Amino acid sequence: MTCEELRDHYELFVLGVAEDAEAGEIRAHLKRNCDVCAAGVKGARELTALLSATAPTASPRPELRRRIMASVAPPPPVVLEKRGFRWAPVWAAVAGLAALTAVYFEVRVRQEMDQSAQLRAELNRQAAEAAQRTAQLSRLNDALAIVNSTEAVEVTFGPKQQPSPAGKVFVSPQRGVLFIASRLPAAPAGKIYEMWIVPKRGAPAPAGLFQSGADGVALHLQPGPVDLNAAGAVAVTLENAGGATAPTPPILIAAALPPR
């Protein structure tokens, strides 16, 4: 028999339960100083020693032993006695192998769960980024629609010199108000900018909250129709984080709309 054919019999040979034919072949290979079989038997001995150390020595109940012996048709008892066959090491090895198998599958399950959790987190992150990009693109399209609208009113505010904020307001009767500013400092902690539509008569109406970027640039879009005949100006104030229902002085930016 070749070394490849004997590969699956090394452990049985070490345990002393290999068939006579295979056991004889392995002994013959070892006598010929076969490197493959020598390494295989050595590994089998190490594995058997490891498995024996992983579980306490235990003997099966007599009725369980009889059932197993009846199902696998064991060799005659006299042969086992001649070989000095002992069940305790075998059952210790089986118990150790079962323990190792249980640990292996537990580790694999945990690894699969960790990988699944990482995959879900990555998919959620990508979905959130995609949703954010979609929202930004939609906002940009709405802003461009207002800027390019033939009916939109454009108003410039602020001095050209620094450090006062400056920018433009675009008001479309159908699409809404677009506010663009530069040199507008970031709002302090707990504060936020709020835009207002100031009518010619009556109280100002809140038109959305926004923040300024670290570079001092702010862009705020408030969609919805605007009555240019009634609107007199667009203003900005600094409010508490939740916003306000009426402007809190002072008015930081005011862009008067042309009379109609």
Q: List pLDDT tens digits, range 19-32.
A: 888 889 999 999 99
* Closest by CA position to 93, among listed 62, 39, 50, 64: 50
pLDDT of residue 71: 53
Range of the domain at 192: 153-256
Q: Report the pLDDT averaged over residues 66-91.
A: 54
Please count the structural domains in the chain: 1
**Residue 5 confidence (pLDDT) above 70:** yes
pLDDT of residue 88: 65
pTM of the model: 0.52
pLDDT of residue 233: 96
Distance, C-alpha 113 to centroid of its chain:
12
**Residue 195 confidence (pLDDT) above 90:** yes
- Distance (Å, rounded) from C-alpha 36 to C-alpha 42? 10
Q: Percentage of the chain with pLDDT > 90?
A: 43
Q: Percentage of the chain with pLDDT > 70?
A: 79
Report yes or no on 214 lying in a domain. Answer: yes
Report yes or no on 165 lying in a domain. Answer: yes
Tokens of 258: 């042309």
**Degrees (nearest 5) of the Cα angle 35, 38, 44?**
140
pLDDT of residue 239: 97
Tokens of 64: 């369980």
Tokens of 255: 């862009």
Report yes or no on 161 lying in a domain. Answer: yes
pLDDT of residue 236: 97
Distance (Å) of CA 208 to CA 8, 113, 173: 76, 44, 17
Please provide the average confidence, as pLDDT, over all residues in the chain: 82
Question: Is the pLDDT higher at 40 or at 171?
Answer: 171
**Residue 252 confidence (pLDDT) above 50:** yes
Q: Are 56 and 30 in contact (CB under 8 A)?
A: no
Report yes or no on 234 lying in a domain. Answer: yes
pLDDT of residue 79: 45
- Distance (Å, rounded) from C-alpha 157 to C-alpha 179? 10
**Residue 66 confidence (pLDDT) above 70:** no
Report yes or no on 218 lying in a domain. Answer: yes
Report yes or no on 181 lying in a domain. Answer: yes
Question: Is the pLDDT higher at 7 or at 236?
Answer: 236
Q: By three-state DSSP, how is residue 45 classified?
A: helix
**Pairing assessment for the beta strands 176-182 and 191-199 based on DSSP bridges:** unpaired
Query: What CATH number is attached to the domain comprising 177?
Result: 2.60.40
Report yes or no on 65 lying in a domain. Answer: no
Report yes or no on 30 lying in a domain. Answer: no
